[in-house]
């Protein structure tokens, strides 16, 4: 590990000389692509067991790194006297690991876009049913991608921001994408309203409890609840004064907002905590199964 730290600290090994950096960088990147392309036929010769072994080992090592970084004690000065006592020797590697995972994460997100475009290109080429809509999708995709990339580059002052880019991106983003997105998700309100009327039936104790709580919360948390309690019924607002008699204390605590808050903090919170505990234990079991590749269908 000392050697590794030494290497990481040694800037000159990892950094290209300033003089012909662009040329060398391009060559190395090309070399990296060639290397990984060349690896494909090599990897392909592996038998199924060997393929699985590679996946299992990489999954395990990726997990081991983060688990070890978390579990290892932080003070290693006894072994590595020059080490920072606030972190263990794996901690400095967190930061490059985060960069790698961000890049892979971005490529994974790009996967969805790639799949979508591929599907619709195929629709158009093969003139499948309703391929006209696929053209709409592809045209809006290309237009938006161009403006979006140019806009982000313009923010970093890599390209110049002209009025066409400014207004074009604003129309595409603020007045089209944002509006469509907001409209699409606001449709759910209509469906939830219709479903509440047509399907929310009080047939059991469970359904009654659920509906009663929902109604209490719905009225209690909005200003209407405060208006009904404090203005219409004239209940006292705020906490009861020190040493008030029982009746006054009750009056101070039966306003709808107070009751709704009590339901949320005293009845709802423990139920949510129980769900959390269930999720936590399940999550831990799942994490271990995934880490050790015991979960079928993933590796």
Partner 1 sequence: MQERTQSVWQRMLGIDRRWLYLVLFVNIVTFLVAPIRMPASISPPVQKFYDEIEKLQPGDLVMISSNWSASTLAENQPQLEAVIAHLMRKQARFTIISIEAQSRDISYRLAERVTKDKGYQYGEQWAHFGFVPNLIVAIKGMVNDLPNTIKQDVRGTAVNQLPVVRGVKSLSDYKMIIDVTPSGTLPIWISYSPKNVPILYCPTSVMAAEAYTYLDSGQIKGMITGAKGAQEYEQLLGVVGLGTRFMNAISFSHVLIILFILLGNFAMLMNRLQLRREG
Partner 2 sequence: MDWLQFLPLSLDRISVWIGVLCTLAIYSLLYRENPIYRFFEHMYIGLAAGYSLGPLGVDILYRYWIEPIWIQGYWAWAFVVPYGMYLYFIFSERYGWMSRIVIGTLIGASAGLFFQEFSSRYLPQLNSTLQKPLWVGSANPDLTYGMVINNFLFVIILLSVLTYFTFSYEQRGPVKRVAIWGRWFLMIGLGAIFGNTVMARMALLIGRIYYLLNDWLMIRVGGG
Q: Which residues bind partner 1 (CB under 8 A)?
A: 87, 91-92, 94-95, 97-99, 101-102, 105-106, 108-109, 151-152, 155-158, 173-174, 177-179, 181-182, 184-186, 189-190, 192-194, 196-198, 200-202, 211, 215, 217-219, 221-227, 229-230, 237, 255, 257, 261, 264-265, 268-270, 272-273, 275-276
With a CB cutoff of 8 Å and minimum separation 6, the contacts of 262 are 253
Smallest Cα–Cα separation from 257: which of 214, 223, 296? 223
Site residues for partner 2, 68-127, by CB under 8 A, read 70-71, 97, 99-118
Distance between CA atoms of residues 119 and 110, nearest Å: 14
With a CB cutoff of 8 Å and minimum separation 6, the contacts of 123 are 130, 131, 134
Per CB under 8 A, 212 contacts partner 2:
yes
Q: Which of partner 2, partner 1, none binds 114 (CB below 5-8 Å, type-dependent)?
A: partner 2
Nearer to partner 2, 4 or 104 (CB): 104
Nearer to partner 2, 45 or 78 (CB): 45
DSSP state at residue 292: T
Q: Closest distance between partner 1 and the C-beta of residue 47, in Å?
A: 33
Per CB under 8 A, 31 contacts partner 2:
yes
Tokens of 31: 């070399």
Q: Which of partner 1, partner 2, none binds 247 (CB below 5-8 Å, type-dependent)?
A: none
Nearer to partner 2, 109 or 125 (CB): 109
139 CB-side CA count, 13 A: 7
CB 51 within 8 A of CB 58: no
Per CB under 8 A, 294 contacts partner 2:
no
Q: Closest distance between partner 1 and the C-beta of residue 230, in Å?
A: 7
Distance between CA atoms of residues 165 and 65, nearest Å: 44
Task: Determine the straight-line distance between the first and last CA of the chain, rounded to whole angstroms.
Answer: 31
Site residues for partner 2, 223-262, by CB under 8 A, read none
Q: Closest distance between partner 2 and the C-beta of residue 113, in Å?
A: 5
Q: Which of partner 2, partner 1, none binds 87 (CB below 5-8 Å, type-dependent)?
A: partner 1
Q: Closest distance between partner 1 and the C-beta of residue 111, in Å?
A: 12
Inter-axis angle of helices 94-125 and 48-71, nearest 10: 140
Q: Closest distance between partner 2 and the C-beta of residue 84, in Å?
A: 19
Instruction: Name all contacts of 23-29 with Cβ < 8 Å and 24+ positions apart.
Output: none
CB 115 within 8 A of CB 36: no
Q: Closest distance between partner 2 and the C-beta of residue 34, in Å?
A: 9
Per CB under 8 A, 174 contacts partner 2:
yes
* CA dihedral (124, 127, 129, 131) positive or negative: positive
Q: Closest distance between partner 1 and the C-beta of residue 118, in Å?
A: 20
Report the 10 Å Cβ neighbour count for 91. 16
């Amino acid at each position: 590990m000392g050697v590794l730290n030494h290497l990481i600290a040694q800037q000159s090994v990892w950094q290209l000389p300033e003089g012909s950096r662009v040329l060398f960088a391009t060559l190395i990147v090309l070399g990296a692509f060639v290397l990984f392309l060349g690896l494909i036929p090599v990897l392909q010769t592996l038998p199924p067991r060997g393929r699985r072994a590679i996946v299992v080992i990489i999954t395990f090592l990726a997990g081991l790194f983060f688990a070890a970084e978390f579990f290892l004690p932080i003070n290693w000065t006894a072994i590595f006297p020059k080490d920072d006592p606030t972190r263990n020797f794996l901690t400095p590697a967190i930061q490059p690991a985060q960069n790698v995972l961000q890049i892979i994460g971005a490529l994974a997100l790009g996967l969805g876009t790639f799949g979508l475009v591929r599907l619709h290109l195929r629709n158009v080429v093969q003139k499948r049913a309703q391929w006209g809509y696929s053209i709409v999708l592809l045209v809006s995709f290309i237009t938006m991608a161009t403006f979006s990339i140019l806009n982000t580059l313009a923010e970093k002052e890599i390209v110049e921001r002209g009025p066409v880019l400014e207004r074009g991106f604003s129309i595409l983003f603020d007045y089209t994408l944002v509006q469509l997105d907001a409209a699409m998700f606001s449709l759910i309100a209509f469906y939830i309203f219709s479903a509440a009327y047509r399907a929310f039936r009080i047939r059991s104790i469970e359904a009654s409890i659920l509906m009663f709580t929902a109604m209490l919360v719905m009225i209690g948390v909005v200003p209407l609840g405060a208006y009904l309690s404090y203005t219409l019924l004239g209940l006292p607002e705020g906490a009861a004064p020190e040493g008030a008699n029982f009746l006054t204390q009750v009056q101070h605590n039966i306003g709808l907002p107070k009751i709704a808050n009590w339901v949320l903090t005293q009845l709802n919170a423990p139920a949510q905590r129980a769900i959390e505990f269930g999720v936590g234990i399940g999550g831990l079991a799942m994490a271990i199964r995934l880490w050790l590749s015991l979960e079928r269908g993933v590796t």
